[in-house]
Structure 1
Amino acid sequence: MIRMAPRFRLYRDRHKPFYYSLIIFSILALTTYIYLTFNITKLTEEKFVSYSYQDLDSETQHTFYKGCLDIKSYLNDASYRKSNASFVMLARNQELDDVLSTLCDIESHFNQWYHYPYVFLNDEPFTEEFKQRVRQNVTGSVQFGTLKELEWEFPNEVRETIEFTERIKDQADRGVMYGDLESYHKMCRFYSGLFYKHPLVRAYDWYWRIEPDVKFFCDITYDPFFEMERNGKEYGFTVVLQELYWSVPGLFRATRSYIRNNKIKLGSLWKLFAGSFEYAQTNDKYLEKTVLDEKLLKEKLEEKIKIDRLLQKTQKDDVDLNNKDDIGGLNHLINRAQSKVPIFDDKIDNEVFNLCHFWSNFEIAKRTVFDNPIYDEYFKHLEASGGFWKERWGDAPVHSLGLALTLDIEQIHYFRDIGYQHSTIVHCPKNAPQELQLPYIAGYDKFSKKDSKYYDPPFNVGSGCRCECPSRHLDIEDTSYPCMDFWLELAHGIEENTNFGDGEYFPYVDLDQREEEMKNEFYSNV
């Protein structure tokens, strides 16, 4: 299985005592915020445990711009061109207040300068009040669309069965989050494979998905659509985290069957979501199935070397039961005879789903990452399996696995500089150094903002522009284990135990060669 790379694990583990001491001191003194503000440089020099206090950029994965840009100069640059893009929001009439809250944030932090249009979708017609209030609060054009019954409802041959009702009830009985809400199942299905087919969405090359009642905390002074296109990126995220297992127990199996049946050549993004069991290359079938990481490699090879030596001495009738190595070899032989090859219930095609996924309530993406034959057929395959109602497959893990069918890691962008909150999950970056901050200039009087003294303090490796983060928030960067670790390993090209060529995993370690090395060391010490 993939493990966190040493350089990042070191930062997390080495400073745990310091971290806990700091928390205790801060609670006693009631000065957590002040302490962090005035000791920020010291924490950086010591490589503080939290990812949110580190510079995570790599050569291929880095923030487009740190801090603020002069928007007027950016817009007037001869190389700049506005993209064929829009915001997309699925909303209900009764969510108007939450919709307006989101629009206030996205307009004041970005769209008041760039005026991108909006597409609003609903399973029933929007009211005139909804349309009027939305138009009054945005600076771009607005289109309102109503979903057809086939886009929103499950097919009749499914919807009218007793099994459909019973499966939904069963998820409620088992406590699957949102599993008892038909509307949630419909929403996940719609966003998984139908939203990009809507004519209003299909009119654009790029989209930025937003939701009712989300928060944005930093100014975005560049055009994300333009920068994505210019830098060869096709999908952007702000949060990567793990899904609840019991909402998607059959999703990975259905995905692997689609890959196998259609001989899909996977993109390297697949490594972010699937752990490979193909760690070691060897002719020894027992070791091939039991050696899954470096720790087991050393343990199992040491066992094998001692067993082989014991058997050699047995043939020569030279076994000495007073010799600790001979006794050790005998014990290893007995243990191996009694041991069983480990069974992994969720292992499929020698892989397991690690449950990591991009949180799709924020997406900035090229429409064709989904609107293409491979993803279209993938959605049809999932639909036929019934997982959108038999289980509670969310559009986020479906999107993530679906993206990995075609994209490489280099085509993904982490919008680390965009502060974002949905529900209780928060990502809010540290502000870039003071010299990279610029005075706020509103595009419209109604967007005038607080004095700069209310902005968060600058940080030497920060990336944000004029961020105002929630007080004492716990950033998802620091709690999304192990997904953030996996992302950083791939971003920095330091995966520990998996190679990936021509869309397939291949073993990382030549076990026979490692055995020879360990055997030479072992015999030199005997």
Structure 2
Amino acid sequence: MLVRNSELREALDSIRNVEDRFNRRFRYPWTFLNDEPFTEEFVNYTTGMASGKTNYGLIEPAQWSVPDYIDKKKIEEGMENMVSKNVIYGGSLSYRNMCRYNSGFFYRHPIVNQYRWYWRVEPGVQFYCDQLYDPFSFMRENGKVYGFVMAMYEYLLTIETLWDSTKEFVRNHPQYLAANNSLDFFVDNSEPSKEGDKEFDGDYNLCHFWSNFEIADLDFWRSPAYSDYFDFLDRKGGFFYERWGDAPVHSLAAGLFLPKSAIHHFGDIGYRHPPYARCPQDEESHQSGRCYCARDAHFDDDGYSCLPRWWNVAGMNRGAGPKGQH
């Protein structure tokens, strides 16, 4: 969890949710990261609520600040432009630091380095269903690398040059493009690009996996493909000049550098991150009492959701659990 001291109440809400629904049975450790030292109050309360070990890490200032090679005047101009267009977080430098950190640095933190897998939990989220199996074991045993719950469209004004930059990177590094990748999730009417191809046509449709929930293999972010991709994007400056989010960056990397079969939709997880929520649709999850949420009011069928597109291109259905999705 990337969290501030001022978000203690929201952090405890999320921890309570995860502990009650899942972790009290598995007792996995919690890791908290902050760009300022954690207060004694934060440490005491979060440690008291967690069933497993707790780790507290301080983010290096260089990883939460504007690099020397970035034009600060250009940042100000871009922020002013976004504020004038009412883009959410358009005028926030802190938000840009957070997106850059989640894109390129959290997995390098010394505390995180000891782990192979992670479940990203945001402050102030809710989980509606008991998690009865271990998702880390499921991912590992089934060859999965990246797992998500919701998918949606990104704001075009925040990533206007991200797709062109991504295509440029792939032209320079065609060896990283996976066979049977997910290009057809990101580009309408596209044939999946094959390993070794240097070019792919089409415009980005803005679909991405919503990264406030992720269960993934940290070794993917540590791989040469992703490391080179992040370094390339970082030098482009779009994290600051625009407002590139870690969600589209993670999504494009996973979708292009991994085979489609390595990406998993957790259809059995009920989850809410304001303002959106999703609820498993199968009868068993509700009759058994495993889930408690409104099936008739959830994000899967929202016009802003990209999940139906993922089901179509990945050959998955709306099944509730792992067996129903493969």
TM-score (norm 2): 0.89
The 5-angstrom pairing of residues 125-524 of structure 1 reads: 125-158=37-70, 161-267=72-178, 268-276=181-189, 349-430=200-281, 432-433=283-284, 456-457=286-287, 466-469=290-293, 471=294, 474-480=297-303, 483-492=306-315
Q: Deviations over 1:459-493 (max 9, x none)?
A: xxxxxx61111x57621111155622321222328
When Rg is computed on C-alpha atoms for both structures, the one with the higher figure is 1
Closer/same/farther in 2, CA of residues 278 and 358 from structure 1, 3 Å limit? closer
1:264–1:405 Cα contact (<8 Å) kept:
no
Query: Is the contact made by 2:3 and 2:123 (CA closer than 8 Å) also made in structure 1?
Result: yes
Query: Could you tell me how far 1:173 is from its partner in structure 2?
Result: 1.5
Offset at residue 201 of structure 1 (A): 1.1
The match for 2:17 is 105
Post-superposition offset of 1:432: 4.4
Identity %: 40
Specify the code of the residue in structure 2 equivalent to 1:127: T
Could you tell me which amino acid in structure 2 is paired with residue 213 of structure 1? G
1:294 corresponds in structure 2 to none
C-alpha separation between the residues in 2 aligned to 1:412 and 1:493? 11
Cα gap change, 1:150/1:430 in structure 2, threshold over 3 Å: closer, same or farther? Answer: same
**How much has 1:198 moved relative to structure 2?**
0.9
Shift of the 473–244 alpha-carbon distance from structure 1 to 2, 3 Å rule, reads: farther
Shift of 1:241: 1.0
Q: 1:367 to 1:472 in 2, by over 3 A?
A: closer
- Say if 1:431 and 1:467, in contact at 8 Å, map to a contact too: no
Distance 1:481 1:239 in 2: 11
Q: What does the per-residue CA deviation read over 1:56-107, in whole Å, with 9 as the maximum and x for residues that have no partner?
A: xxxxxxxxxxxxxxxxxxxxxxxxxxxxxxxxx0000000000000011000
Following superposition, the deviation at residue 402 of structure 1 comes to 1.0
The equivalences for 1:29-178 within 5 A come to 89-158=1-70, 161-178=72-89
CA contact (8 A) 1:218 1:418 kept: yes
CA 1:104–1:274: 2 relative to 1, 3 Å: same
Looking at structure 2, the residues matched to 146 and 371 of structure 1 have their Cα atoms a distance apart, in angstroms, of 20
> How many corresponding residue pairs?
309
Take 2:220 and 2:58, find their aligned partners in 1: how far apart are those partners?
Answer: 24
Q: What is the DSSP-based 3-state SS (H/G/I as helix, E as strand, rest coil) of the residue aligned with 1:177?
A: coil
| Alignment partners' CA distance in 2, 1:357 and 1:493 | 17
TM-aligned CA deviation for residue 165 of structure 1: 2.1
Q: Tell me the SS of whatever aligns to 1:404.
A: helix
2:158–2:244 contact (8 Å) kept in structure 1: yes
Distance between the aligned counterparts of 1:278 and 1:409, measured in 2? Answer: 13
Which string of whole-angstrom CA distances, capped at 9 and with x for unpartnered residues, describes residues 115-165 of structure 1?
000110000000001000001111000000000111111213427x32222
Unpaired segments ≥5 residues, structure 1: 1-88, 280-347, 438-455, 459-464, 495-526
For CA contacts below 8 A with separation 6 or more, give which structure has more relative contact order: 1
CA distance in 2, matches of 1:246, 1:199: 34
Please state how far the C-alpha of 1:194 moved relative to its aligned partner.
1.0
Structure 1 residues 99 and 473, CA gap change in structure 2 (3 angstroms): farther
CA RMSD of aligned residues (A): 2.1
Give 4+ residue runs of structure 1 displaced > 6 Å after superposition: none
> In the aligned structure 2, how far is the partner of 1:493 from the partner of 1:93?
40
User: How many Å apart are 1:263 and its aligned residue?
Assistant: 2.0
Contact 1:370 1:403 in 2 (8 A): no
Determine the C-alpha separation between the residues in 1 that align with 2:129 and 2:19: 12
* Matching residue's letter, 2:300: E
The answer to whether the 8 Å contact 1:240/1:480 transfers is no
Find the counterpart in structure 2 of residue 298 from structure 1: none
CA contact (8 A) 1:103 1:138 kept: yes
Cα separation, 1, equivalents of 2:137 and 2:66: 37
SS in 1 for 2:182: helix
